[in-house]
């Protein structure tokens, strides 16, 4: 997604809205969604068909509510992640299924969602985890989590309006322009084609915050914080040593830059953790290979048995 100068946005939104109204009137939006939910079709083909009707980037607000694994999912087509849920059923379905498998292996337990965004992962995991702690400091996306909790009357999800890091501080936050609300970051070098300085948000040291708020017996942690992963891991060192949770985290190029190689990464986690890349095959199976810190990807950290 490429950042577009503000002066171009109004005309883009008008054109995108007109295209959506036309394709919806012709029944093509419903058809695109029907095709999009056919997981056996190539992902690229489904994506191209969906984009013929509308794209999330620079699209006017278009709220919707759909079934989401038996739960209610309120969203907006102007949001990249919600757009995926509407047309394909979920965003990164393979990661959701991996998280479900991991929490089941631990007979439920506490799931911590660091960088919860609009709450898709928290909503999905509310059916499988005993309790969920969702950390999201940016109010724009945090409101979407609250709406999902309210619409589904969830009682096992707690939303924390702070970010996790190595120390308590207020740090400049760079918010995304356009439809991909998930690229916001505390790293000023992350997604510079679309992120712009928004203001300062509160960061807390994970270990201290967990102890103060009674967050314990942690079984599984998901981390997706756009280049801030190193700080989260360092701030949770005691938690990782004490509860030995499994961790699923996104490692971007900016994350790799901050880690400074495999040895730098190993210093962020207790020595008993094994790090693996997670690859999803076309058949839906999961293949894992050793993490070498030379390329981005989804990474699984699991304690040695």
Question: Are 132 and 52 part of one and the same domain?
Answer: no
Q: Is the pLDDT of residue 14 over 80?
A: yes
Tell me which of 40, 70, 88 is where a domain ends.
Answer: 88
Residue scoring higher pLDDT (183 or 270) = 270
**Position 76 pLDDT exceeds 50:** yes
Instruction: Mark which of 54, 88, 122 sits at the end of a domain.
Output: 88
CA distance 105 to 53: 40
Statement to judge: residues 298 and 259 lie in one domain? yes
Q: Work out the end-to-end distance of the chain between its first and last CA atoms, rounded to an integer number of angstroms.
A: 41
Place of tokens 């109010």: 139
Query: 290 pLDDT band (50/70/90 cuts)?
Result: very high
Whole-angstrom CA distances from 91 to 58, 66, 121, 198, 261 are 19, 14, 9, 26, 29
Q: Kindly state the DSSP code that residue 185 receives in the 8-state scheme.
A: B
Q: Are 275 and 290 in contact (CB under 8 A)?
A: yes
- Cβ 303 vs Cβ 275: under 8 Å: no
For residue 163 the two structure tokens come to 């970010």
CA distances, 210 to each of 6, 50, 175, 257, 287 (Å)? 41, 41, 26, 28, 32
Mean pLDDT (whole number) for 81-93 = 97
pLDDT per residue over 117-156, tens digit each? 999 999 999 999 999 999 999 999 999 999 999 999 999 9
Quote the tokens at residue 226. 């756009």
- Which structural domain, as residue segments, surrounds residue 130? 93-303
- Say if residues 168 and 204 touch (Cβ distance below 8 Å): yes
Residues paired with 114 in a beta bridge: 135, 223
Q: Checking DSSP bridges between strand 273-280 and strand 169-176, what pairing results, if any? A: unpaired
Residue 1 in any domain: the answer is no
- Is 51 in the same domain as 146? no
- The three-state secondary structure class of 243 is helix
Verify that 103 and 84 share a domain, yes or no.
Answer: no
- Where does the pLDDT of residue 283 fall: very low under 50, low under 70, confident under 90, or very high at 90 and above? low
- Does position 192 have pLDDT exceeding 60, yes or no? yes
Q: Are 163 and 184 members of one domain? A: yes
Q: Which of 88, 104, 121 is the endpoint of a domain?
A: 88
Q: What is the pLDDT of residue 5?
A: 47
- 279 located within any domain: yes
In a shared domain, residues 160 and 281: yes
Half-sphere exposure of 265 (CA within 13 A, CB side): 22
For the ranges 4-8, 220-224, 285-289, the lowest mean pLDDT is seen at: 4-8
pLDDT of amino acid 2: 41
- Crossing angle for the helix pair 80-88 and 28-36, to the nearest 10 degrees: 80
How many other C-beta atoms can be found within 10 angstroms of the C-beta atom of residue 83? 25
Q: pLDDT tens, 225-237?
A: 998 999 999 999 9
Task: Please identify which residue in the block is written with the tokens 């390329």.
Answer: 295
Q: How confident is the model at residue 107 (pLDDT cuts 50, 70, 90)?
A: confident
Check if the beta carbon of residue 272 is closer than 8 Å to that of residue 244: yes
Q: 3-class SS at 201?
A: strand
Check whether residue 56 and residue 104 sit in a common domain.
no
- Tell me the average pLDDT of the chain: 92
Work out whether strand 195-205 and strand 163-165 pair parallel, antiparallel, or are unpaired: parallel
Q: How many domains does the chain have?
A: 2
128 and 155 housed in the same domain: yes
> Beta strands of the chain (E only): which ranges?
63-68, 71-76, 110-114, 131-135, 157-160, 163-165, 169-176, 195-205, 218-223, 246-251, 273-280, 286-290, 297-303
Angle at 271 between CA 270 and CA 273, to 5 degrees: 80
Query: In this prediction, what percent of the chain has a pLDDT beyond 70?
Result: 96
Judge contact between 302 and 246, C-beta under 8 A. Answer: yes
Asked if 281 and 136 sit in the same domain, the reply is yes
Q: Are 107 and 20 contained in the same domain?
A: no
What is the average pLDDT across 175-182?
84
pLDDT at position 3: 42
Q: Among all chains, which residue has been given the structure tokens 């712009």? A: 196
Q: Are residues 147 and 268 in the same domain?
A: yes
In angstroms, rounded to a whole number, what is the distance separating the alpha carbons of residues 124 and 106?
17
Q: Please check whether residues 53 and 120 belong to one and the same domain.
A: no
């Amino acid at each position: 997604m490429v950042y577009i100068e503000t002066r171009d946005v109004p005309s883009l939104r008008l054109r995108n809205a007109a295209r959506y109204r036309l394709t919806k009137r012709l029944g093509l939006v419903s058809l695109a969604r029907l095709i999009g939910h056919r997981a056996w079709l190539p992902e690229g083909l489904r994506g191209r068909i969906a984009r013929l009707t509308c794209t999330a980037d620079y699209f006017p607000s278009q709220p919707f509510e759909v079934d989401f694994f038996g739960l209610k999912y309120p969203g907006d087509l102007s949001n990249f992640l919600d757009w995926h849920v509407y047309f394909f059923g979920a965003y990164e379905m393979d990661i959701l299924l991996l998280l479900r498998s991991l929490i089941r292996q631990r007979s439920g337990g506490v799931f911590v969602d660091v960088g919860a965004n609009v709450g898709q992962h928290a909503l999905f995991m509310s059916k499988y985890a005993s309790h969920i702690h969702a950390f999201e400091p940016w109010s724009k996306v945090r409101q979407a989590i609250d709406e999902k909790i309210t619409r589904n009357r969830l009682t096992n999800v707690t939303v924390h309006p702070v970010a996790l890091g190595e120390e308590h501080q207020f740090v400049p936050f760079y918010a995304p322009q356009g439809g991909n609300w998930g690229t916001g970051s505390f790293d000023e070098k992350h997604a510079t084609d679309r992120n712009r300085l928004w203001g300062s948000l509160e960061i807390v040291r994970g270990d201290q915050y967990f102890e103060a708020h009674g967050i314990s017996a942690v079984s599984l942690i998901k981390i997706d914080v756009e280049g801030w992963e190193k700080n989260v891991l360092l701030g949770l060192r005691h938690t990782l040593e004490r509860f030995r949770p499994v961790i699923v985290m996104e490692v971007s190029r900016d994350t790799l830059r901050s880690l400074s190689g495999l040895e730098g990464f190993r210093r962020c986690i207790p020595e008993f953790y094994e790090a693996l890349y997670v690859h999803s095959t076309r058949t839906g199976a999961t293949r894992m290979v050793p993490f070498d810190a030379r390329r981005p990807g989804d990474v699984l950290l699991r304690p040695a048995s």
